[in-house]
Amino acid sequence: IVEDEVEGLRRMVTTFSQFAKVPEVRTRPEPLARVLGEFERAYGHLGDDGGGQLEVQVPSAPLTVAVDRQLLKQALVNLVENAVLSAREAGADPVRVRVGVTVDGRASVVVRVDDNGPGIDPERRERVFEPYETSRKSGTGLGLAIVKKIVLDHGGEIWIEDSTLGGACFALRLRQVEASAKAPAETSTDA
């Protein structure tokens, strides 16, 4: 029991540190297929333990977004880990998480993370992004706050809707740029 508590405290301190020190966003034009492909190769195992499945739908269309590649991948990791835990706690068998992309008519793309967990009540959807808001005993309530900060620092939007898989869908709108856009000096946004 003591070891579990120490590990829980260690995770909490790490998460607090991450929230306090989200790095400065340095955006540059990035092919979205590259970012999602790297994410899938590095983190595709997140759904593997315990009968879960993670599906990453890499777009075949050449979509380029203005992002900090590492921070976008961190946001996706937080969302996928949260989705896996929520679905598992709700008893989903198998746990299903899907990362997909759509293009909207506003010169942007929407990256969606869907799960087959319990979903999120509409009246809680804004609160889940507040620091320290959690419904889990072991949660710190900072993972989704970090995601929101990353998305807003990119000039994007984030919201929650019902998922076609039956649970929650976290949608991130990111600015699409021309593939030929050059990044001689990275664009920086203060964190």
Strands 95-104 and 52-56, sheet pairing = parallel
Domain presence at residue 52: yes
Alpha-helical runs (H) found in the chain? 2-20, 32-43, 69-89, 143-153
Residue 138 lies in a domain: yes
Question: Per residue in 117-164, pLDDT tens?
Answer: 999 999 999 998 888 777 776 667 788 999 999 999 999 999 999 999
Q: Is 185 a member of any domain?
A: no
Strand (E) or helix (H) holding 69? helix 69-89
pLDDT, mean of residues 10-32: 71
* Coarse DSSP helix, strand, coil percentages of the chain, rounded to the nearest 5 percent: 40, 25, 35
Question: Is 159 within a domain?
Answer: yes
Q: What is the pTM of this model?
A: 0.81
In this predicted model, what pLDDT tens digit does every residue of 70-87 receive, in sequence order?
A: 999 999 999 999 999 889
Assess if residue 19 is contained within a domain. Answer: yes
Report if residue 190 sits inside a domain.
no
Q: What is the dihedral of CA 189, 102, 77, 176, to 10 degrees?
A: -20
Range of the domain at 91: 2-180
User: Amino acid identity of 24?
Assistant: E
What's the gap between Cα 163 and its chain centre?
15
Q: Is residue 139 included in any domain, yes or no?
A: yes
Measure the CA angle with vertex 81, ends 75 and 82; round to 5°. Answer: 90
pLDDT for res 44: 77
For residue 149 the two structure tokens come to 């900060």
Contact of 99 with 55, CB cutoff 8 Å: yes
How many domains does the chain divide into?
A: 1
CATH number at residue 52: 3.30.565.10
* Residue 64 predicted with pLDDT over 90: yes
Decide if 134 is inside a domain: yes
